[in-house]
Amino acid sequence: MGDGVNVPPEIPEYDILERVGTGGMSVVWKAREKATGELCAIKVLNDSLTTNIEDVSHFYDEERTMERLNHPGVVKSRKLVNSGRLWYFVMEFVDGYNFGQLLARKQHLSESDCLLICQSVAAALDYAWNEHGIVHCDIKPENIMINSSGEIKITDLGLCHTFKFRKEGAVKAQDHLFGTPAYISPEQVYGDVEPDCRADIYSLGATLYHLSTGRLLFPKLDSEATMRAHCDDYMQARDPREYRPTLSRGFCQLLEAMLVKNRDYRIANWAYVFDLAQDVEKSIAFIPRKSSAPSSVKLTA
């Protein structure tokens, strides 16, 4: 049994081909199913965590969530297996790369590519939210992939949260919810309300800012300072056109609307994000201003 990052697991039904991803809790391997010859990805829980009930439960919940989400824009899990101390799940293999890898090679992406990513992610997370109440909680370039056919897929639901719907609205968050500091929403940092789809909308906005400019919203800050910057009304990111003057005003307005710090004034649903991205793509580029509430991006004339 593989118990480290560099040691492939021994699973009789599969040929383990290569390691394709490493996270804090698990390692993802490219594999081939012996019976069918089909490629797949196998996510293996680190051996050091398999005796911790909380970590195993977290891993179990992630797989079950991926299995529930039957959408072409979400990487699909096929089955969860426990064999002794070996915990793993088998999921579809994405023959491609994530946008963090692409960004490292290209420095920035075109506006048209960013709009395609925006619409694809919005469609997938609209389904996850409206059909299952699921908030991803860790949208970032590394968790958005594109396959060899040009299909964009969301992966890694290890931090996802299932929203507790109530007639009276959101309830207080039960547990502290984490995310990646560069892209985390202010409400996840505060941890005082239960995050809903607006948290992912903010994170996608931060992701698109990074992809389109090659710069983080708040560069050169450590993790703690970055999270404070997301929440502080006085900390504003630069107009993306300072880095990329060719970006359209409509695209920058879309980012601004997604990155409003107070979620009560942020874009409230994925359908609107999708429609606005389509409008920008068609060069309509008009976003009604609901409020002058501060966002993480302030436009200049």
Rg (Cα) of the chain, in Å, rounded? Answer: 20
pLDDT at 292: 40
Give me the pLDDT at residue 122, please: 98
User: pLDDT tens digit string along 255-295?
Assistant: 999 999 999 999 999 999 999 999 999 864 444 444 444 55
How does the average pLDDT of the chain come out, rounded? 88
User: In residues, how long is the chain?
Assistant: 301
Query: Same fold for the domain at 14-91 and the one at 96-281?
Result: no
Q: Report the alpha-carbon distance of residue 261 to residue 291 in Å, rounded.
A: 12
Split at pLDDT 50, 70, 90, the class of 2 is very low
Residue among 213, 218, 156 nearest 182 (CA): 218
- Is residue 41 within 8 Å of 28, Cβ to Cβ? yes
pLDDT tens profile 204-223: 999 999 999 999 999 999 99
pLDDT in tens, 131-159: 999 999 999 999 999 999 999 999 999 88
> What pLDDT does residue 176 have?
52
Dist CA 100 CA 27 (whole Å): 18
Is the sign of the CA dihedral 167, 171, 177, 180 positive or negative? Answer: positive
Distance between CA atoms of residues 202 and 255, nearest Å: 9
Q: What is the pLDDT of residue 163?
A: 82
Q: Do residues 64 and 89 lie in contact, with contact meaning Cβ atoms separated by under 8 Å?
A: no
In CATH, what is the architecture of 96-281? Orthogonal Bundle (1.10)
- What span, in angstroms and rounded, lies between the C-alpha atoms of 163 and 218? 28
For a pLDDT cut of 70, what percent of the chain falls above it? Answer: 87
How far CA 176 is from CA of 27, 37, 188, 195, 222, in Å, comes to 24, 42, 8, 10, 20
Beta carbons within 10 angstroms of residue 190's beta carbon: 13
pLDDT in tens, 234-255: 888 999 999 999 999 999 999 9
The structural domains of the chain, with segments of one domain joined by +, span 14-91, 96-281
Dist CA 43 CA 11 (whole Å): 12
Of 20-24, 150-154, 188-192, minimum mean pLDDT range: 20-24
Question: pTM of the full predicted structure?
Answer: 0.89
The CATH class of the 14-91 domain is alpha beta
Mean pLDDT of 27-55: 94
Better pLDDT: 286 or 178: 178
- The CA distance from 265 to 248, in Å, is 23
DSSP 298: -
